[in-house]
Chains A and B, each alone.
Chain A
Amino acid sequence: MTTFYFEWWFLPKLAQGLVLTVEITAACIAFGFVLGVLLALGRVYGPKLISIPCSIYIHFFRGTPLLTQLFIVYFGLPNWGIHLSAFTSGILALGLNTAAYQAEYFRGAIQAVKGGQMLAARSLGMSRIQAIRYVILPQAFRIVIPSWSNELILMLKYSSIVFSISLLDLMGMGKRIAARYFNYFEVFIVVALFYLVLVFLLSQSLRWLERRVRVPGLGAPGLR
């Protein structure tokens, strides 16, 4: 360990990368959330014409590597005349991927809402869509929080994959610094610490969120 020395100058650079990591994670989670809810609704309530394509989508994105999906979007789509920036490609690929996982969590949560809730809502004269919006989804969202939190943390870590299409996120910035000075070990120990702190902060905030919206009688039995 005699060669171990620490250079402070690269910390601001890493912080810059960290900002991109947070941006990409937030964007792909938001994108995946919207698409995931739609896929879950399609799978649970849709007619076959909708539920089967939703199902195929989910199986494809859950059954194939994220790196492959990223390369399909970044290197593959140009074959079809679709040219996206690395930043957009990264968010799109991560978002399409997490949508499939989120869809499965939402589906489980929707199906965990008791059947009588839909009946009661319809008996008041609500349409199916109103019942889903005001009764089913608010409950499903609360039930889903634990598994959804895991997914969010997972995506925070997997977002590092965008360095492979030369984005300078926390990982990419680390790689760039380390490659120039060949001090991979020092730099990546620091990068690892950055991720540890990020993951810690994120999981604490999610726990706080879970407590905030908790409602008596609406736990997530067996859904972790």
Chain B
Amino acid sequence: MNALLVVEDVHKRYGKEEVLKGVSFQVEKGETKVIIGPSGTGKSTLLRCINRLTEPDRGRVWLDGVEVTSPKTNINRIRAQIGFVFQDFNLFTHLTALDNVRLGPMRVKGMKKDEATRLAQEELARVGLADKADAYPAELSGGQQQRVSIARALAMNPKLILFDEPTSALDPELIGEVLQVMIKLAQEGMTMVVVTHEMGFARSVADEIIFMEKGVIVEQGPPAQLFSSPKHPRTAEFLRKITELYGGEG
């Protein structure tokens, strides 16, 4: 198995509702995979099943050859290698930007304080927020908060970062700054799985796009092919709707 991430036949049900009905895909090292699809389709659930923030009912996940879903695996060790960027940021409210970024390295990886501080400053600089190190989350704009949360994920030196609609909670004028950071990461070779409605980003950055609906992958392929000649009528319809909704391709 040489793909960095392998997801195999993942199922998840909440009560009567089967949210994921057997989802499989692979992500190669350095690849950017974009997942699109209507809301309520199970995209967030799928991302959370990958690092078991949500426990899948069935199916298996491997990261770099290690089975994430095995009961013998120390899940905290795995999570430390998978960055997660939330739609609503979830920065730690009581900590400054700098403390947010260095908490993980210090507490999870046992890094020394001055080393973690240096690392955190570097990561903040990487997302263009070196001057906001001492600000509390409430003192930052949404776009800045999301960039700090990306820095927080980066500071763990992850093998893979999962983005769950990272720009959906942002005012339109703040979306660009976050996307720019993500584009830069993709160019630097970071492996990423991104759930998003930003079709412009998907088209220009994704190596492959996955279209999901009602808990299954309907279609996947490189952006050029998927956007210009979708095989499945559902994909075509979704792309038409999303273009109407978000006004062009950004």
Task: Consider the complex of A and B and state whether they touch directly, i.e. have CB atoms less than 8 Å apart.
Answer: yes
A interface residue numbers (CB < 8 A to B): 114, 116-117, 119-127, 130, 134-135, 138-139, 142, 215-218
Beyond A124-B152, A134-B107, A139-B93, is A216–B139 a contact (Cβ under 8 Å)? yes
Please indicate the chain A residues that have their CB under 8 angstroms from the CB of B149 in the complex: 120
Q: Chain B nearest CB: distance from A127 CB in Å?
A: 6
B79 at the interface (CB under 8 A from A): yes
A-B contact pairs, 13 of them (CB 8 A): A119-B86, A120-B84, A120-B86, A123-B53, A125-B80, A130-B107, A134-B107, A135-B92, A135-B94, A215-B93, A217-B139, A218-B93, A218-B94
Partner of A126, one of B90, B108, B136, B137: B108
The 3 A-B residue pairs with the shortest CB-CB distance in the complex, in nearest-first order: A217-B138, A125-B80, A116-B90
CA distance A44 to B84 in the complex (A): 26
Beyond A116-B86, A134-B103, A217-B138, is A121–B93 a contact (Cβ under 8 Å)? no
Most A-side CB within 10 Å, residue of B80, B90, B138, B139: B90
B76 at the interface (CB under 8 A from A): yes
B88 at the interface (CB under 8 A from A): yes
B19 at the interface (CB under 8 A from A): no
B176 at the interface (CB under 8 A from A): no
Q: Chain A nearest CB: distance from B111 CB in Å?
A: 13
Q: Is the CB–CB distance between B79 and A119 below 8 Å?
A: no
Q: Is the CB–CB distance between A216 and B80 below 8 Å?
A: no
Q: Chain B nearest CB: distance from A146 CB in Å?
A: 16
B interface residue numbers (CB < 8 A to A): 51, 53, 76-84, 86, 88, 90-94, 103-104, 107-108, 136-139, 149, 152, 156
Please indicate the chain B residues that have their CB under 8 angstroms from the CB of A139 in the complex: 92-94
Q: Is the CB–CB distance between A127 and B76 below 8 Å?
A: yes
Q: Is the CB–CB distance between B76 and A121 below 8 Å?
A: no
Q: Is the CB–CB distance between B80 and A138 below 8 Å?
A: no
Q: Which residue of A lies closest to B78 (CB)?
A: A125
Please indicate the chain A residues that have their CB under 8 angstroms from the CB of B53 in the complex: 119, 122-123
Partner of B80, one of A119, A120, A124, A134: A124
Beyond A120-B86, A120-B90, A217-B93, is A125–B136 a contact (Cβ under 8 Å)? no
